[in-house]
Amino acid sequence: MMIMKAVVELVGKQYLVEPGTIFLVDKLAAEKGETYTSDHVLMILDGDDVVLGKPYIDGGKVTFSVLDQTKRRKIVVQKYRAKKGYLNTRGHRQHATQIQVELIEGGGKRVERIIEKKPSDKKSMKEESED
């Protein structure tokens, strides 16, 4: 079974997503625990079927759940002037939103995130792969 994927535009950037994907984007106007829906779907991939938008797909939607509002890692910026005794150091942390893809709709299809149970024992995983 092929997993449905979509290319969605969020905060001016494009992301290839599939149900269950967790990733960081620039800050969205949504609180932790809320759902965020984007209708800026550029392309939907479903196995061999490809639906392209011009620029967006009519009726295409991707629904996300907001997991956290956080900051990215610190970037250190230094200015230095040789032989002048000048050194200026500053840090910056960009605000970000951690989201998870819940639902992809469009092209007459709808796919939701499937919650699968993972085997808790590594030994049982090896036994299954050997069979």
122 in a domain, yes or no?
no
What is the pTM (predicted TM-score) of this model?
0.76
Count of structural domains within the chain: 1
Tens digit of each residue's pLDDT (9 = 90 or more) over 29-63: 999 999 999 999 999 998 888 889 899 999 899 99
CA dihedral sign of residues 14, 97, 103, 111 = positive
pLDDT, greater one: 70 or 115: 70
pLDDT, greater one: 91 or 121: 91
Output Rg (C-alpha) for the chain, integer angstroms: 21
pLDDT, greater one: 3 or 11: 11
pLDDT of residue 121: 58
C-alpha distances (whole Å) from 25 to each of 1, 59, 130 are 29, 23, 39
22 in a domain, yes or no?
yes
123 in a domain, yes or no?
no
pLDDT, greater one: 129 or 74: 74
- Domain of residue 91 covers 5-114
Q: Is the pLDDT of residue 68 over 70?
A: yes
Does residue 113 contact residue 19 with C-beta atoms inside 8 Å? Answer: yes
Which residues 6+ apart lie within 8 Å of 96 measured at CB?
Answer: 24, 25, 26, 27, 69, 70, 71, 72
60 in a domain, yes or no?
yes
Tens digit of each residue's pLDDT (9 = 90 or more) over 104-129: 988 677 767 666 655 655 555 555 55
Angle at 79 between CA 76 and CA 83, to 5 degrees: 140
pLDDT-based confidence at 96, cuts 50/70/90?
very high
125 in a domain, yes or no?
no
25 in a domain, yes or no?
yes
119 in a domain, yes or no?
no
β-strand pairing of 86-92 with 41-46: unpaired
Number of C-beta neighbours around residue 118 at 10 A: 5
On the 0-12 / 13-18 / 19+ scale of CB atoms within 10 A, 64 is buried
129 in a domain, yes or no?
no
